[in-house]
């Protein structure tokens, strides 16, 4: 074996190692993207819950006000509004589909829930 054959072998070995590692890197990147999508939806849910409970707390019809506030941001969310002892409670729930290529098959859909309570102070 002559010394000039070694660089060719090293290039071939690097190509094989790259081909073996590439699928793992792609799956990890897709997993990071999917987690980011879920975290963004979690933030949207928190902001929407805050808007809904605020709207419900100052309304004569809290359930309707909360639903209207939710429909602007998360129309697919389920909303439950309750008033107990002058406190209005808004519960929101949304299912985030994990439908990203490859990752969707590995992870189940994620259900996110949020609850906020505020004093009911209708304006009228």
Does any domain span residue 69? yes
Does any domain span residue 60? yes
DSSP notation for the chain: --GGGHHHHHHHHHHHHHHHHHHHHHHHHHHHHHHHHHHHHHHHHHHHHHHHHHHHHT-SSHHHHHHHHHHHH-TT-EEEEEEETTEEEEEEEEEE---STTHHHHS--EEEEEEEEEE-----
The answer to whether the CB of 91 falls within 8 A of the CB of 115 is yes
Task: Look at the block and give the residue holding tokens 């990203």.
Answer: 100
The answer to whether the CB of 15 falls within 8 A of the CB of 7 is no
Does any domain span residue 98? yes
In the Cβ-directed half-sphere of 108, how many Cα atoms lie within 13 Å? 3
pTM confidence score: 0.80
Does any domain span residue 124? no
Parent domain of 17 = 3-119
Q: How many domains does the chain have?
A: 1
The per-residue pLDDT for range 10-49, each reduced to its tens digit, is 668 888 888 899 999 998 999 999 999 999 999 999 999 9
- Looking at residue 18, its pLDDT comes to 86
CA dihedral 29, 35, 41, 46 (to 10 degrees): -140
The per-residue pLDDT for range 76-123, each reduced to its tens digit, is 999 999 999 999 999 999 999 988 877 778 889 999 999 999 999 988
Packing angle, helices 6-57 and 62-73, rounded to 10? 160
């Amino acid at each position: 074996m002559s010394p000039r054959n070694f660089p060719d072998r090293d290039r071939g070995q690097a190509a094989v190692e790259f081909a073996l590692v590439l699928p793992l890197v792609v799956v990890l990147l897709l997993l990071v993207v999917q987690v980011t999508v879920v975290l963004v939806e979690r933030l949207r849910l928190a902001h929407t819950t805050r808007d809904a409970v605020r709207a419900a707390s100052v309304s004569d019809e809290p359930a309707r006000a909360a639903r209207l506030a939710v429909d602007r941001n998360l129309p697919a969310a389920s909303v439950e509004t309750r008033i107990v002892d002058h406190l209005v409670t808004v519960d929101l729930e949304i299912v985030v589909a994990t439908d990203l290529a490859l990752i969707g098959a590995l992870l189940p859909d994620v259900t996110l829930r949020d609850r906020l309570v505020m004093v009911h102070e209708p304006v009228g």
